[in-house]
Copies of this chain bind each other. A is one copy, B any other.
Amino acid sequence: MSHNSFGHMFRVTTWGESHGPAIGCVVDGCPPLVPLTEADIQGFMEKRKPGQSKYTTQRREPDEVKILSGVMIDEDGVQKTTGTPISLMVENTDQRSKDYSEIKDRFRPGHADFTYDAKYGIRDYRGGGRSSARETAMRVAAGAVARKVLQGVTIRGALVQVGPHKLDRGNWDWTEVNNNPFFCPDAAAAAQWAEYLDGVRKAGSSVGAVIEIVAEGVPAGWGAPIYGKLDTDLTAAMMSINAVKGVEVGNGFESATLTGEENADEIRVDDVGRPVFLTNNAGGVLGGISNGDPLVVRFAVKPTSSILTERKSITRQGEEVDVMTKGRHDPCVGIRAVPVGEAMMACVLADHFIRHRGQVG
């Protein structure tokens, strides 16, 4: 086991702290002969990159990915994976560690400061160290590799709730997602959220969000009972993202309120005799195995804990103090969780694709 790895056959190990010289990851188990360049990855890095709008942290990082191993230019001049581990690295450039010196001995409420200290007796306080959302940059990089493995699978994500403002699903338009800084699939809602989040930002406050990730094109049969379930792995992947407090698949918590008649997805065959589910309450998975329908996962992100209001806390030495986080932060950390959620979905699917192919042939 490894505390900093996820996946089994497509396995990602990340390393690095928010204010260290660099962050990186090793992608092990990627099949050979997959075309892969830095440009393939960079596009996804841009989507998650901080400092792109006033609604996310103002830290400015180029987030330029380097591939240090695992690829080779073949005879046709195409760079491809070789089956060996792919090492990816991003140098940190805009660390302002001074911003954090005053919280060196103080536990910021809602942050991992207290628990890291309780566990390890030492803690990299600069920018949250290892517990910073900066680590998710490498998830996005690994996810970009995973997407290349998953030919025929489309993975997309959207913000579906900001604070109390839920999306009207009837207005869902995937083409809108990249037209606003919120990955919101509804232009009108995006405008409303902009106004709402301006208020949150100006108040030095923060707010939570809900993200939905959808994968289309996954054939029936991926996943495995009992502790290798596709939805278990997807749920764990999302839950491992910073600040996530809940995950659901398909109807999720709403399914608790339904009857068996309402909830089970009926089956028919289409014109060419292929099975068709008439609804997708299951979110594309039954008994831990994909059923061919879109995989639908949602997760809730808590409000950023770093806010400009003083909160009660204590020092490492046990003195009571009031803590206000200065530094640079996201009024809604959930926004940048969209590309991260997509990446986690991609990594889990690449893993299960390889596992399935191995076990069933």
The distance in angstroms between the C-alpha atoms of A211 and B205, with both chains bound, is 32
Segment among A38-46, A47-55, A120-128 that sits at the interface with chain B: A120-128
Closest approach, in angstroms, between the C-beta of A353 and any C-beta of chain B? 9
Would B84 and A268 count as touching, CB distance under 8 A? no
Q: Once bound together, how far apart are the Cα atoms of A200 and B263, in whole Å? A: 14
Size of chain A's interface in residues, with CB distance under 8 A?
146
**Cβ-based interface call for A326 (8 A):** no
Whether A192 sits at the interface, judged by CB under 8 Å, is: no
Q: Which residues of B contact A33 (CB under 8 A)?
A: 120-122
B265 touches A131 (CB 8 A): no
Q: CB distance B14 to A255 under 8 Å?
A: no
Copies in the complex: 4
* A191 on interface, CB distance cutoff 8 Å: no
A107 touches B267 (CB 8 A): yes
| A264 neighbours in B (Cβ, 8 Å) | 109-110, 303, 305, 307, 311
- CB contacts (< 8 Å) of A307 on chain B: these are 259-261, 264
- List chain B residues, Cβ under 8 A from A334: 256
Q: Which residues of B contact A229 (CB under 8 A)?
A: 239-240
Chain A interface, >50% SS class: mixed
Say yes or no: is A228 at the interface (Cβ < 8 Å to chain B).
yes
- With most chain B CB atoms within 10 A of its CB, the pick from A4, A24, A114, A118 is A4
On chain B, the residues within 8 Å of A327 by CB distance are: none
Instruction: Say if the beta carbon of A342 comes within 8 Å of chain B.
Output: no
Contacts of A242-293 to chain B: CB distance below 8 A: 245-269, 273, 275, 278, 282-283, 285-292
Contact B289 A118 (CB under 8 A): yes
The 10 A-B pairs of least Cβ separation, nearest first, read A112-B287, A358-B358, A110-B264, A246-B248, A3-B228, A115-B289, A206-B260, A208-B256, A246-B252, A118-B220
Q: A267-B314, A269-B314 known; 7 other A-B pairs, CB under 8 Å?
A: A32-B120, A135-B226, A161-B257, A208-B255, A233-B236, A235-B236, A262-B303
Residue positions of A touching B, CB distance < 8 A: 1-6, 8-9, 11, 13-17, 20-24, 26, 28-29, 31-33, 66, 68-70, 72, 74, 80, 82-87, 107, 109-112, 114-116, 118-124, 129-131, 135, 161, 163-164, 200, 205-210, 220-229, 231-233, 235-236, 239-240, 245-269, 273, 275, 278, 282-283, 285-292, 300-307, 309, 311-314, 318, 320, 334, 354-361
Provide a sorted-by-A list of 10 A–B residue pairs whose CB atoms are within 8 angstroms: A2-B13, A82-B129, A83-B359, A114-B291, A130-B225, A135-B226, A255-B303, A259-B307, A267-B313, A356-B358
